[in-house]
């Protein structure tokens, strides 16, 4: 009988290098939201993949970033802490960088990994965007000097290039263990949490350049109603919190067109994700200073526990 293996794999990197895209690609479905804006991911998101006797428990993390005068709010500190916490007691780390760029924030991530005993696999992402492919090989060679990585792999999370090879490398580091989750479970997050994230994704994709990061989503109602025909209906009410009246005006848009578009796109994505008809209601409320108030953050679900 083949021995079961199971282990935790932290996916880390600076903001916007493709951590969530990679996890979604590995799982074959969307668990983590994505956008072109940095710091889209704010929580640890667990994605579970079971293949035969092997169970991979991936932990997608917020981008580790430098706390400076422009990013020195409680929410920034929370995101860095959440990413750092994910490195405790993991069996393997996937460290993602963006092509042939090495920034100060990449170095911050590398420095954090100095005390991590687990093997670190370096994934050089977005290779499909490289204009001159000849620069890749010497760059990969130079990366060997930065740390004794378990492996260095060029990948494209978006297109799936070499992702199977990355998974095979991670599999080498899973310890013998019984599986922690049922074989058909793909995340430890609730549908309520995913609904909030999907609304936030649509806001960030549409208003990333106009609306600062002081926006979050709270689900006030998540109720399933059985129907005699056509399956159940999910009634979801989501409250979008911003910090200033001007932000509320941007979010609602001219004659409410912006919030209608956000609601329509979020509802369609929820119906695909949950396999049910969704009735979605959105509201916007001003809650001054929530992103720099640790108490408010905890009440809104930003909790390391």
Give the residue extent of every domain in the chain. Answer: 5-172, 191-300
The dihedral through the CA atoms of 105, 174, 302, 184 has a sign that is: positive
Residue 19, annotated as binding a ligand: yes
Question: What class, spelled out in words, does domain 5-172 have in CATH?
Answer: alpha beta
* Residue-level pLDDT at 1: 58
**For the chain, how far is it from start to end, CA to CA, in angstroms?**
37
* Residue-level pLDDT at 209: 73
* Residue-level pLDDT at 69: 65
Residue 13, annotated as binding a ligand: yes
Residue 285, annotated as binding a ligand: no
Residue 144, annotated as binding a ligand: no
Q: What is the pLDDT along the chain (305 residues), one digit of tens a residue?
A: 579 999 999 999 999 999 999 999 999 999 998 887 777 888 889 999 999 999 999 999 888 887 766 667 888 888 888 888 889 889 999 999 999 999 999 999 999 999 999 999 999 999 999 988 899 999 999 999 999 999 999 999 999 999 999 999 999 999 999 999 999 999 999 999 999 999 999 999 988 777 767 789 999 999 999 887 778 899 999 999 999 999 999 999 999 999 999 999 999 999 999 999 999 999 999 999 999 999 988 888 888 76
Residue 72, annotated as binding a ligand: no
* Residue-level pLDDT at 132: 87
Just give the CATH number of 191-300.
Answer: 3.30.300.20
* Residue-level pLDDT at 50: 97
* Residue-level pLDDT at 212: 63
* Residue-level pLDDT at 152: 98
260's enclosing H/E stretch is helix 257-274
Residue 133, annotated as binding a ligand: no
Residue 92, classified by CB atoms within 10 Å of its CB into exposed (0-12), middle (13-18) or buried (19+), is buried
Neighbour tally for 2: CB within 10 Å: 7
Residue 18, annotated as binding a ligand: yes
Q: pTM for this structure?
A: 0.90
* Residue-level pLDDT at 224: 94
């Amino acid at each position: 009988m083949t021995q079961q293996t199971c282990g935790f794999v932290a996916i880390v990197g600076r903001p916007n290098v493709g951590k969530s895209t990679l996890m979604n690609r590995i799982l074959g479905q969307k668990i983590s939201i994505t956008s072109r804006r940095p710091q889209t991911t704010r929580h640890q998101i667990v994605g579970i993949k079971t293949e035969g006797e092997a169970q991979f428990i991936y932990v997608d993390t917020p981008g580790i970033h430098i706390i400076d005068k422009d990013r020195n709010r409680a929410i920034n500190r929370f995101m860095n802490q959440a990413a750092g916490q994910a490195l405790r007691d993991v069996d393997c780390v996937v460290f993602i960088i963006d092509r042939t760029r090495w920034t100060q924030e990449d170095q911050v991530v590398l420095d954090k990994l100095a005390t991590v005993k687990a093997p670190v696999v370096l994934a050089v992402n977005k290779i499909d965007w490289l204009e001159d492919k000849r620069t890749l090989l010497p760059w990969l060679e130079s990366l060997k000097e930065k740390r004794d990585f378990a492996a260095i792999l060029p990948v494209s999370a978006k297109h799936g290039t070499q992702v199977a090879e990355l998974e095979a490398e991670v599999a080498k580091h899973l310890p013998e263990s019984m599986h922690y989750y049922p074989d058909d479970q793909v995340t430890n997050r609730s549908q309520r949490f995913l609904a909030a994230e999907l609304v936030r994704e649509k806001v960030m994709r549409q208003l990333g350049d106009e609306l600062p990061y002081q926006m979050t989503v709270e689900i006030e109602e998540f109720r399933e109603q059985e129907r005699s025909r056509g399956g159940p209906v999910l009634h979801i009410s989501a409250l979008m919190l911003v910090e200033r009246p001007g932000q509320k005006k941007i979010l609602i848009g001219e004659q409410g067109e912006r919030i209608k578009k956000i609601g329509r796109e979020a509802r369609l994505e929820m119906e695909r994700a949950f396999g049910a008809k969704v009735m979605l209601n959105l509201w916007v409320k001003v809650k001054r200073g929530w992103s720099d108030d640790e108490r408010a953050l905890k009440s809104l679900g930003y909790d390391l526990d």
